[in-house]
């Protein structure tokens, strides 16, 4: 028999957004008990990899209005403008709060918080802590969370199912990896903060854990997923392993050059050059590759990033991680040589559909961070808006979930649902067949890269969908060799694969439906933005065991869509 654990609120995912939510609930509602479940230890979360910084309009030369406009223009007008207005307002308080907690922001000479320029932002707005902002942020929050007794952490517990009844969420099932035991969590509200699904691509800056589990769980529980076709490709990653070279390198003044030694962005975004938005730079690099102006490397084609002119002192003090990464993985010291860079998948703008209070379409289910889609990023995220999103919407999720939890009672989950799920897991362990998890994962990644990459068209998308459906079917014939439940990474990888395939399918279906080019979603058969037909979000949800797609309009308050110029 499974153990039953009870908490008022359960947060799944202990990265930036999840941790922020946990702290906010603990601060404001010490009487609520919080379960913080994560499949890795909190400080192993993907938030630590964020390099560049956090955008917030706290400087005198800046304004909320300007930050909002930059975000909306960057999103190619697909952002919900009411959400953006809330976001830019609350981001300011969030960063100051972090400062009081001891987050070591980089400082100007006078001791004030320093800001740097970031792609697509019209003024210097991005607060930073060297080029490890996410790392400092995550550790500051983790350490602060240790003072709250009512945050009970469940590190290395893998959530396998969200339990629902007709009134909404009432619990979940998770496996404790260390012992292999399954347990039922009874709860009033669940906050999903599980990050993105970047691992569906072969070339991604994401860690091995970003497999979209949270999105898939919510989807299975009946929540709608929004704008999945919007996948961001970061222009500058190291060809070996696709590790991120932060946009900060360009914000500080780095140049991108092609094989001919030209700063080729002058032909694409002459006014902003290297500090343009990511989607446009990625596409410019892709175009250079097509023209044959890229370098040929052993891992991939690439262009080069030149930061030598910044000088050794600035590189060492403001971009130490970039220097370390390129020295370790490429054997190149950026003080002396140019760094090879190539685009790779980086971020999911889409995710679980939520309103501005982070509530999803299932009562009692909330979502924040990369896994959610509020939408503030629209069709293209501005660099340094994602950490700010985690802070702002993590806190908002905390407020909304606490209010919800206070109004509702615990409802014990239905035995039938639990039994069925338990049988399902033991079936996975017992299944026989010739298929291998690693092979299918590899094929899925190749498919997504090839058919649903930076540039898409109808024919490729249809082919990709077919392949993914085929893989889903093959997925049922996987045999697991490890029969023990203790740290069975073979089992969790299979569960992750199933989640990734679900998300992949959603990505392709939404991409097929959007017959226009907007932000990161670029179609070679419809190269222009079409506001009259496509100024709306796509929702993916389950209908009678099939994936259905529907539309919902974009919220527009002050900024009417116009041509996006840089």
Partner 1 sequence: MSKNIKIEIKLYNPETEQISWREFSVPTSAANTILDALDYIKNNGYPSLAYRSSCRMGLCGSCAAIVNGKHVLMCHTFCRDQKQPIKIEPLKNFPIIKDLITDTDDVMNKFRSVMPYTEIQKRHLSKIGETVQTTKQRKKIEQSSQCIKCLLCYSACPVFGHNKEFIGPAAATLAYRYSADSHDKIGSKRIESITGDEGIYKCTFVGECSKVCPKNVDPASTLQRLKVMGVLNSFKKIIE
Partner 2 sequence: MRQHDNKQEPLWWTKNITYVTYMVREGSSLLIGVYALFSILYILLFYTPLETLAKWAHPAFDPLYKVIAMIGLAGAIIHSITWLAVMPTILPLKMPKAAQYFITLCLIGLWLAGSYYLSKTLYYSCFNY
**What residues form DSSP beta bridges with 173?**
161, 184
Q: Collapse the DSSP code of 464 into the 3-class scheme (helix H, G, I; strand E, B; otherwise coil) and give the result.
A: helix
476, interface contact from partner 1, partner 2, none, CB < 5-8 Å by kind: none
Q: Which residue has the tokens 């003080």?
A: 335
Our CB check for partner 1 shows the closer of 92 and 124 to be 92
Our CB check for partner 2 shows the closer of 180 and 433 to be 180
Our CB check for partner 2 shows the closer of 178 and 266 to be 178
Binding of partner 2 at residue 486 (CB under 8 A)?
yes
Q: Collapse the DSSP code of 105 into the 3-class scheme (helix H, G, I; strand E, B; otherwise coil) and give the result.
A: coil
Our CB check for partner 2 shows the closer of 462 and 484 to be 484
Structure tokens given for 308: 């030598």
In which order are the strands placed within the sheet that holds 546-553? 372-373, 351-353, 225-226, 536-543, 546-553
Q: Collapse the DSSP code of 125 into the 3-class scheme (helix H, G, I; strand E, B; otherwise coil) and give the result.
A: coil
Active site residue 408: no
Pairing of strands 301-306, 295-296: antiparallel
**Residues at the contact surface with partner 1, assessed by CB under 8 A:** 27-28, 40-41, 43-46, 48-49, 58, 92-93, 96-97, 99-102, 104-107, 109-113, 132, 135-136, 139, 143-144, 146-147, 155, 178, 207-209, 240-241, 243-244, 298-299, 321, 324-325, 328-329, 436-438, 442, 480-482, 484, 486-490
To partner 2, the closest distance from the beta carbon of 315 in angstroms equals 17
476 CB burial (10 A radius; 0-12, 13-18, 19+): exposed
To partner 2, the closest distance from the beta carbon of 324 in angstroms equals 12
Our CB check for partner 1 shows the closer of 153 and 353 to be 153
To partner 2, the closest distance from the beta carbon of 181 in angstroms equals 10
Our CB check for partner 1 shows the closer of 326 and 517 to be 326
Our CB check for partner 1 shows the closer of 4 and 179 to be 179
Q: Collapse the DSSP code of 94 into the 3-class scheme (helix H, G, I; strand E, B; otherwise coil) and give the result.
A: helix
The residue from 234, 377, 460, 521 that is catalytic is 234
Active site residue 234: yes
49, interface contact from partner 1, partner 2, none, CB < 5-8 Å by kind: partner 1
The residue from 73, 144, 250, 521 that is catalytic is 250
* Number of residues in the chain: 566
Looking at 63, 299, 426, 484, which residue binds partner 2 (CB under 8 A)? 484
162-181: which residues touch partner 2 (CB under 8 A)?
A: 179-180
Closest to 121 (Cα-Cα) out of 84, 85, 71, 52? 71
Q: Which residue has the tokens 């017959």?
A: 515
Q: What angle, rounded to 10 degrees, do the helices at 437-451 and 489-513 form?
A: 20
CA-CA distances (angstroms) from residue 346 to 54, 139, 197, 250, 355?
17, 22, 10, 17, 24
| CA-derived radius of gyration, the chain | 23
212-231: which residues touch partner 2 (CB under 8 A)?
A: none
155, interface contact from partner 1, partner 2, none, CB < 5-8 Å by kind: partner 1
**Are 7 and 34 contacting, i.e. CB atoms less than 8 angstroms apart?**
yes
- Which helix H or strand E contains 372, and what residues bound it? strand 372-373
Residue 427: Cβ within 10 Å count = 9
27, interface contact from partner 1, partner 2, none, CB < 5-8 Å by kind: partner 1
Total chain residues near partner 2 (CB under 8 A): 4
To partner 1, the closest distance from the beta carbon of 246 in angstroms equals 11
Give residue 192's Cα distance to chain centre.
12
To partner 1, the closest distance from the beta carbon of 104 in angstroms equals 6
Binding of partner 2 at residue 524 (CB under 8 A)?
no
Q: Report the C-alpha gap between 292 and 281 in whole angstroms.
A: 17
To partner 2, the closest distance from the beta carbon of 485 in angstroms equals 9
Our CB check for partner 2 shows the closer of 181 and 474 to be 181
Q: Report the C-alpha gap between 559 and 562 in whole angstroms.
A: 9
**Are 288 and 304 contacting, i.e. CB atoms less than 8 angstroms apart?**
no
208, interface contact from partner 2, partner 1, none, CB < 5-8 Å by kind: partner 1
To partner 1, the closest distance from the beta carbon of 214 in angstroms equals 16
To partner 1, the closest distance from the beta carbon of 281 in angstroms equals 21
562 CB burial (10 A radius; 0-12, 13-18, 19+): exposed
Q: Which residues are near partner 2 by CB under 8 A?
A: 179-180, 484, 486
**Positions marked active-site:** 234, 250
């Amino acid at each position: 028999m499974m153990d039953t654990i009870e908490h008022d609120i359960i947060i799944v995912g202990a990265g930036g957004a999840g941790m922020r939510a946990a702290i906010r609930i603990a601060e404001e509602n010490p009487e609520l008990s919080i379960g913080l479940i994560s499949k890795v230890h909190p400080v192993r979360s993907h938030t630590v990899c964020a390099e560049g910084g956090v955008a917030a309009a706290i400087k005198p030369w800046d304004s909320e209005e300007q930050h909002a406009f930059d975000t909306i223009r960057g999103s190619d007008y697909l952002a919900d403008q009411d959400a953006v207005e809330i976001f830019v307002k609350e981001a300011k308080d969030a960063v100051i709060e972090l400062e009081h907690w001891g987050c070591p922001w980089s400082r100007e000479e006078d001791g004030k918080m320093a800001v740097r320029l970031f792609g697509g932002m019209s003024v210097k707005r991005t607060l930073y802590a060297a080029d490890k902002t996410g790392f400092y942020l995550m550790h500051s929050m983790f350490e602060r969370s240790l003072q709250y007794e009512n945050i009970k952490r469940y590190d290395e517990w893998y959530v396998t199912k969200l339990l629902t009844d007709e009134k909404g969420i009432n619990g979940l099932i998770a496996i404790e990896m260390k012992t292999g035991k399954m347990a039922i969590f009874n709860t009033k509200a669940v906050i999903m903060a599980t990050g993105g699904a970047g691992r569906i691509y072969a070339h991604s800056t994401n860690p091995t854990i970003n497999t979209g589990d949270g999105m898939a769980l919510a989807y299975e529980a009946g929540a709608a997923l929004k704008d999945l076709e919007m996948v961001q490709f970061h222009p500058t990653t190291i060809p070996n392993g696709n590790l991120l070279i932060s946009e900060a390198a360009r914000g500080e003044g780095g140049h991108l050059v092609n094989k001919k030694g030209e700063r080729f962005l002058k032909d694409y975004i002459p006014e902003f050059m290297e500090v343009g938005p990511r989607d446009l730079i990625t596409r410019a690099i892709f175009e250079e590759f097509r023209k044959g102006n890229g370098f040929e490397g052993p891992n991939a084609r690439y262009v080069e990033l030149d930061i030598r002119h910044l000088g050794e002192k600035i590189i060492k003090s403001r971009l130490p991680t970039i220097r370390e990464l390129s020295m370790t993985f490429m054997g190149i010291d950026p003080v002396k040589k140019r760094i090879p860079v190539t685009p790779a998948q980086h971020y999911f703008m889409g995710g679980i559909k939520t309103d501005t209070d982070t509530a999803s379409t299932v009562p009692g289910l909330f979502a924040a961070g990369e896994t959610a889609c509020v939408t503030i990023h629209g069709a293209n995220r501005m660099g340094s808006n994602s950490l700010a999103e985690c802070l702002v919407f993590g806190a908002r999720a905390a407020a909304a979930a606490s209010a919800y939890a206070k109004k509702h009672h615990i409802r014990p989950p239905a035995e039938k649902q639990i039994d069925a799920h338990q049988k399902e897991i033991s079936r996975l362990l017992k299944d026989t067949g010739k298929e291998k998890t690693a092979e299918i994962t590899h094929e899925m990644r190749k498919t997504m890269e090839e058919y649903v990459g930076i540039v898409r068209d109808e024919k490729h998308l249809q082919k990709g969908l077919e392949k993914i459906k085929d893989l889903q079917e093959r997925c049922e014939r996987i045999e697991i060799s490890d029969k023990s439940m203790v740290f069975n990474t073979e089992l969790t990888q299979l569960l992750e694969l199933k989640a990734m395939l679900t998300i992949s399918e959603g990505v392709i279906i939404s991409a097929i439906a959007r017959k226009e080019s907007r932000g990161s979603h670029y179609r070679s058969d419809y190269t222009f933005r079409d506001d009259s037909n496509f100024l709306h979000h796509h929702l993916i949800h389950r209908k009678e065991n099939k994936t259905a797609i529907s539309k919902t309009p974009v919220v527009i308050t002050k900024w009417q869509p116009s041509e996006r110029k840089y």
